[in-house]
Amino acid sequence: MRVRSTVIGGSVLVCLLMPVVTACGDTNNITQHAGRDGKVCVDNAACQEGAAESPASETPDASSPSDTEPATEPGSGSSAGGGTEDQASSAAPGPARSGGTPGAAVSDVRLRYLTDVGPIGGYGNNEGKGPSRLGDSVLPQSIEFAPGVFATEVKSLSFNVPSGLTRFQATVGLDQNTLPDYEAHLGIRRRDGTTLADLTLKSGETYPVSEDLGGTNLITIDVEIVHWAKDAINSRPHVVVGNGRFVK
């Protein structure tokens, strides 16, 4: 009898020293506690004391709204105005026209100056843009053709015609700095080579141009000095295409 008691007492002592490892019972019935204290419940014990320790850690009920959540989510379409932000911005009026009514921005599609379009390949050989004077008129959107020093030829310039514009208009002539003896020829032709304008220019005279483009999408301006002044070494003629423009 004494031997049996010693064996039983030893088993109890081992159980008390190692409660976590062996659980002192059937290891298949151990349930790990979900709380922070890491307790081990034996034989499916409920471990109710853990739930009472931290009630604040429970997950809020998804059906009840949170105090920190906004009333509506961004982009949900629910707003005080009854529409989304994108819808409101698309309904906003455009820039006001000159009459004061909202609408789309006014386009310059009905008129484009040669100086805005620019020549194919750029300017060169003393051709350039800027204000020019013909007679008593200052023409701010002008192209000026002039031969260089010791040169006799003037570079031709070609321009693409903006889509939808059907006429070419300009005021042409020799500027006030050109000596009276000079005489020049100015020709404007379409892409296919047909003549749009053919003018002989003399000092002190201006010539209006208003021609139908005839469906072409490119024009070329040719300038030739046909009569030189006696003092051509010290002076250069200046042929002006004043306010040249494509219109509808």
pLDDT in tens, 14-30: 333 444 334 444 444 44
The 3-class SS string of 13-37 reads HHHHHCHHHHCCCCHHHCEECCCCC
Mean pLDDT of 194-215: 94
What whole-number distance in Å separates Cα of residue 20 and Cα of residue 24? Answer: 8
pLDDT in tens, 27-58: 444 444 444 444 445 555 555 544 444 444 44
Q: Are the beta carbons of 110 and 100 closer than 8 angstroms?
A: no
- What residue ranges do the domains of the chain occupy? 120-247
Give the angle 55-59-64 at the CA atoms, nearest 5°: 110
Q: What is the distance of C-alpha 191 from the center of its chain?
A: 33
Give the angle 123-129-134 at the CA atoms, nearest 5°: 130
212: number of Cβ within 10 Å: 10
Considering only the top CATH level, what class is 120-247?
mainly beta
173: number of Cβ within 10 Å: 28
What whole-number distance in Å separates Cα of residue 184 and Cα of residue 224? Answer: 6
Strands (DSSP E) contained in 146-232 are 157-160, 167-174, 183-190, 195-202, 206-212, 218-227
Confidence of residue 104 (pLDDT cuts 50, 70, 90): very low
- SS3 state of residue 246: strand
Mean pLDDT of 107-122: 88
What pTM was computed for the model? 0.56
The mean of the pLDDT values for the chain is 72
User: Among the listed ranges 40-44, 135-139, 148-152, 209-213, which one has the minimum average pLDDT value?
Assistant: 40-44
Q: Can you give the C-alpha Rg of the chain in angstroms?
A: 47
Which token pair is 16? 């008390």
What whole-number distance in Å separates Cα of residue 237 and Cα of residue 145? Answer: 8
Mean pLDDT of 110-129: 93
Core vs surface per residue 65-99: b (16+ CB within 10 A) or e: eeeeeeeeeeeeeeeeeeeeeeeeeeeeeeeeeee
* Type of residue at 64: S
> Does 197 or 70 have the greater pLDDT score?
197
What whole-number distance in Å separates Cα of residue 88 and Cα of residue 193? Answer: 54
